[in-house]
Chain A
């Protein structure tokens, strides 16, 4: 910031404010929309009445107990994934260094399937997903390490190991009961179907702690982006800062995987999109969190209402969206 003249500052600051305000407004619109839409149509006034504790009891139940937890979890998870992506992309200094590309999702899928086949319940499945996801990310990173980690090597290693784990998961599913197999494969794509009130509160509890912790490390992230030497010179304890960032980013990714399954592409798209909006060089966790929340909310609205009577897992919508986005991004990287 110090090197930046006041003129540039003056130009960038309003832009940043406008974009943050815009994103928050967009989130509020999406949130309200997701509360209104559904088989049981509710008007905007009814939503507001229910939120402040008035209005018809049936309507209040539909909104507060059925729709609110799901909409809330979508926003919180989107924010967690976006922030986690911002942290890892910065650490790897590579836009593709997000948890889904480096094998976290594939590992989580295998871990969850293993836990399920071993007969563990919901908690065991989460623990399996988190453990295996973290282990896979470490393995990908270690296998790609050769005098440092180069971007494309990391990505191809991640793709290779991801394919292998997907094959392991598919094979494990064969020995499961057909019913379980189908439900695991739905979870493996990531879904918000059937999110309940207590899950919302658990998520909220974690998010209240983790999100500020993530935002508080924005400055360290900026310093690390300049390179280790410069960061050290500017007074940052590099290794400690990096460890703290890895733990925060990992915890954010793990939280969302544990609650809704490994949803692809949010952690990849949100920070990049935020960076485009901001016209900046670095990825800001706060902006990435807002974009991630908006992204996952809109994807979930689509997953609930775009496909007729059946609700599809939000992960499938993200796969389609994300694939198209990646293609668009690849062509942009070529020219830009």
Chain B
């Protein structure tokens, strides 16, 4: 990596730390900064519940989701050589949601790890399905997105059918369906964290293969890349990252689209740079969006899924209008 890339990445890391600490000071209850510091240092007292019990887990989930979505987006874009690949647009969210909802209804699952497991399976199956279908159908980036739209429709329809038959469940998942880092049950953090950390670490093991595959499957094979194996593993990691992020935070759209794209534009397009960059700037985007969600309204909060959707929609429109360069 060049000196410029390393500097940029360090700036990103410092920003994450700064935003993470900063997010502890921001919130609806309007605690004075001194009290927040007391709560962090002392770990006790009246405000410790707010800071350590609510804001800290929320901040951690934002970082984990940013990691998961950013890196899975980078993997998807590398794998499909497609600039508008995003786990949300390509159906992984819808697949994860459907698997969890079916799990609730069919098996009455309650444990957090079961939910996360199902989300993982759902995201993985969908990711594989969309790519298998796209290989037969999609000649252009936009067509790949349409395949994602089609598959999301089917899974979304099935989820809705199940939910209309179970109003109780429909009510209970409203908050999750809007996309949010607010944590109801802290055990979700312990379940999601290992999956995402493992997924990110494992993703780096594919960087050489992905670089080869960026030149085309034939070139990759000629330099000794096992393309089938690399592709399967990449889908496995995408499933772990996107599935865990969706299980934890609900459908957060567009992070996986915007982050890798910006990293590519600013820092370059080798797999290593793209993966590290997305791992660093994914959390930057989610932390910023979550802070904006807390601060933008005079009363109440926005859903963070709404903030990332607004950013992503603006980005996608600039992209298709040619203001942001498409890489292909």
Where the two chains meet, the residues of A that have a C-beta atom closer than 8 Å to any C-beta of B are 96, 143-144, 146, 152-153, 155-157, 159-161, 163-164, 166-168, 170-171, 173-175, 178, 181-182, 185-186, 189, 264-265, 307, 310, 312-313, 315-320, 322-324, 326-327, 330-331, 334
Q: Which residues of A contact B156 (CB under 8 A)?
A: 319
> In whole angstroms, what is the CA distance A312 to B312 when docked?
32
B89 touches A323 (CB 8 A): no
In the complex, whether B137 has a CB less than 8 A from a CB of chain A is yes
B253 touches A163 (CB 8 A): yes
In the complex, whether B133 has a CB less than 8 A from a CB of chain A is yes
B152 touches A159 (CB 8 A): no
B320 touches A152 (CB 8 A): yes
State which of B139, B154, B312 has its C-beta within 8 Å of the C-beta of A323: B154
> In whole angstroms, what is the CA distance A182 to B173 when docked?
11
A323 touches B150 (CB 8 A): yes
Closest to B130 in A: A327
Closest to A175 in B: B300
State which of B147, B153, B171, B313 has its C-beta within 8 Å of the C-beta of A322: B153
Q: How far, in Å, is A164 (CB) from chain B's closest CB?
A: 4
A330 touches B137 (CB 8 A): yes
B154 touches A146 (CB 8 A): no
Of all A-B residue pairs in the complex, the 7 with the closest CB atoms, nearest first, are: A319-B157, A323-B154, A323-B153, A160-B316, A167-B309, A326-B150, A320-B157
Q: How far, in Å, is B194 (CB) from chain A's closest CB?
A: 29
Q: How many A-B residue pairs have CB under 8 A?
A: 151
In the complex, whether B303 has a CB less than 8 A from a CB of chain A is yes
Mask, B79-103, CB within 8 Å of A = 1, is: 0000010001100000000000000
Q: Which residues of A contact B155 (CB under 8 A)?
A: 323
Q: Which residues of B contact A313 (CB under 8 A)?
A: 160, 164
B154 touches A152 (CB 8 A): no
20 A–B contacts, CB within 8 A, in A order? A152-B140, A156-B317, A157-B316, A161-B317, A167-B303, A167-B309, A170-B177, A170-B179, A170-B306, A175-B300, A264-B153, A312-B161, A317-B161, A318-B157, A319-B154, A319-B156, A326-B150, A327-B151, A330-B150, A331-B137
User: Given that A319-B157, A320-B154 are known contacts, is A327 also in contact with B133, CB under 8 Å in the complex?
Assistant: yes
- A sample of 17 more A-B contacts (CB under 8 A), given A170-B303, A317-B161, A334-B139, is A160-B316, A160-B317, A161-B317, A163-B253, A163-B309, A164-B306, A164-B309, A170-B306, A171-B302, A175-B300, A182-B167, A185-B170, A265-B153, A310-B165, A316-B164, A319-B154, A330-B150
A144 touches B320 (CB 8 A): yes
Mask, B306-321, CB within 8 Å of A = 1, is: 1001101100110111
> In whole angstroms, what is the CA distance A206 to B264 when docked?
53
In the complex, whether B116 has a CB less than 8 A from a CB of chain A is no
In the complex, whether B174 has a CB less than 8 A from a CB of chain A is yes
Q: Which residues of A contact B303 (CB under 8 A)?
A: 167, 170-171, 174
> In whole angstroms, what is the CA distance A57 to B165 when docked?
32
In the complex, whether B138 has a CB less than 8 A from a CB of chain A is yes
Number of residues on chain B facing chain A (CB within 8 A): 53
Q: Which residues of A contact B305 (CB under 8 A)?
A: 167, 170-171
User: Given that A163-B313, A307-B165, A316-B164 are known contacts, is A155 also in contact with B146, CB under 8 Å in the complex?
Assistant: yes
State which of B143, B158, B174, B309 has its C-beta within 8 Å of the C-beta of A330: B143
B164 touches A334 (CB 8 A): no
Closest to A162 in B: B313
In the complex, whether B216 has a CB less than 8 A from a CB of chain A is no
User: Given that A167-B178, A312-B161 are known contacts, is A143 also in contact with B317, CB under 8 Å in the complex?
Assistant: yes
Where the two chains meet, the residues of B that have a C-beta atom closer than 8 Å to any C-beta of A are 84, 88-89, 133, 136-140, 142-143, 145-147, 149-158, 160-161, 164-165, 167, 170-171, 174-175, 177-179, 253-254, 300, 302-303, 305-306, 309-310, 312-313, 316-317, 319-322
> In whole angstroms, what is the CA distance A317 to B157 when docked?
7
State which of A157, A185, A307, A324 has its C-beta within 8 Å of the C-beta of B317: A157
Q: Which residues of B contact A156 (CB under 8 A)?
A: 84, 142, 145, 316-317, 319-320
Q: How far, in Å, is B111 (CB) from chain A's closest CB?
A: 25
Q: Which residues of A contact B254 (CB under 8 A)?
A: 163
State which of B161, B171, B316 has its C-beta within 8 Å of the C-beta of A182: B171
B164 touches A327 (CB 8 A): no
Q: Which residues of B contact A186 (CB under 8 A)?
A: 164
B158 touches A320 (CB 8 A): yes
Closest to B253 in A: A163
> In whole angstroms, what is the CA distance A175 to B301 when docked?
10
B143 touches A170 (CB 8 A): no
A323 touches B306 (CB 8 A): no
B164 touches A310 (CB 8 A): yes
State which of A144, A170, A326 has its C-beta within 8 Å of the C-beta of B146: A326
> In whole angstroms, what is the CA distance A189 to B305 when docked?
20
> In whole angstroms, what is the CA distance A317 to B140 when docked?
29
User: Given that A174-B303, A178-B174 are known contacts, is A157 also in contact with B320, CB under 8 Å in the complex?
Assistant: yes
A159 touches B161 (CB 8 A): no
Q: Which residues of B contact A163 (CB under 8 A)?
A: 88-89, 253-254, 309, 312-313
Q: How far, in Å, is A102 (CB) from chain B's closest CB?
A: 13
Q: Which residues of B contact A307 (CB under 8 A)?
A: 161, 165
Q: Which residues of B contact A181 (CB under 8 A)?
A: 171, 174
Q: How far, in Å, is B174 (CB) from chain A's closest CB?
A: 6
> In whole angstroms, what is the CA distance A96 to B146 when docked?
10
